[in-house]
């Protein structure tokens, strides 16, 4: 690469070097965003996933409890993943991760064992246990999340997903 650059005339070399620096700068600045842009993007993502969750019909029978739980859990996990990949405002990034994203992810991870309980209860026809576990599922993603912080950020459309009291 260096030899190829040396063969270029000086103006072309300068353009190539500036292009490399330009790409590097674009990559580095692309990792953050403004707070208002983040809030707008987060609210849009949360609204999209809330709509998907609201469209899910509760199971018509105990045997379908596991299907509902897996679908609901998967969509909530996708919402957390989508938010985790967003550009964050650099001034708020660590707070957003510590007070929102990490607790939401831990809440999802902690619920994974409950999915096996729901599966077994669905197969066994234990409607009481399925109902109990599905009620817990409706609060997954919110345990440990600082709902007041979400309000202060202005991500009001994320509160139903992540700000629900346990």
User: Comparing C-alpha atoms, which of 142, 70, 159, 148 is closest to residue 106?
Assistant: 142
Q: For position 3, what pLDDT does the model report? A: 55
Q: Dihedrals φ, ψ of 145, to 5°?
A: -80, 135
pLDDT digits (tens, 9 = 90+) for 1-47: 555 545 655 555 545 555 555 444 444 444 578 999 999 999 999 99
pLDDT digits (tens, 9 = 90+) for 98-141: 999 999 999 999 999 999 999 999 999 999 999 999 999 988 99
pLDDT over threshold 60, residue 166: no
Task: Name the CA dihedral angle for 52, 137, 166, 35, rounded to a multiple of 10 degrees.
Answer: -40
Q: Tally Cβ neighbours within 10 Å of residue 131.
A: 14
Q: For position 16, what pLDDT does the model report? A: 52
pLDDT digits (tens, 9 = 90+) for 117-128: 999 999 999 999
pLDDT digits (tens, 9 = 90+) for 46-84: 999 999 999 999 898 998 999 999 999 999 999 999 999
User: Contact 74/49 with Cβ under 8 angstroms?
Assistant: no
User: Comparing C-alpha atoms, which of 136, 156, 138 is closest to residue 147?
Assistant: 156
Q: For position 131, what pLDDT does the model report? A: 93
Task: Give, in order, the Cα–Cα distances in Å from 47 to each of 67, 122, 137.
Answer: 23, 30, 19
Going from N- to C-terminal start, the domains of the chain cover 1-30, 33-162
- Which has more confidence, 25 or 90? 90
């Amino acid at each position: 690469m260096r030899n190829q650059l040396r063969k270029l005339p000086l103006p072309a070399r300068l353009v190539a070097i500036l292009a490399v620096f330009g790409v590097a700068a674009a990559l580095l600045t692309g990792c953050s965003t403004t707070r208002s842009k983040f809030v707008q993007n987060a609210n849009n993502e949360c609204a999209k996933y809330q709509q998907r969750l609201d469209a899910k019909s509760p199971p018509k029978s105990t045997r379908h409890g596991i299907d509902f739980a897996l679908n609901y859990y998967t969509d909530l996990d996708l919402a957390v993943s989508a938010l985790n990949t967003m550009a964050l405002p650099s001034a708020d990034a660590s707070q957003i991760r510590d007070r929102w994203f990490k607790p939401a992810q831990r809440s999802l991870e902690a619920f994974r064992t409950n999915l096996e309980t729901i599966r077994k209860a669905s197969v066994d026809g234990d409607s009481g246990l399925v109902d109990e576990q599905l009620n817990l599922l409706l609060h997954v993603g919110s345990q440990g999340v600082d709902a007041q912080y979400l309000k202060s950020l202005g991500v009001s459309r994320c509160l139903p997903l992540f700000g629900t009291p346990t």
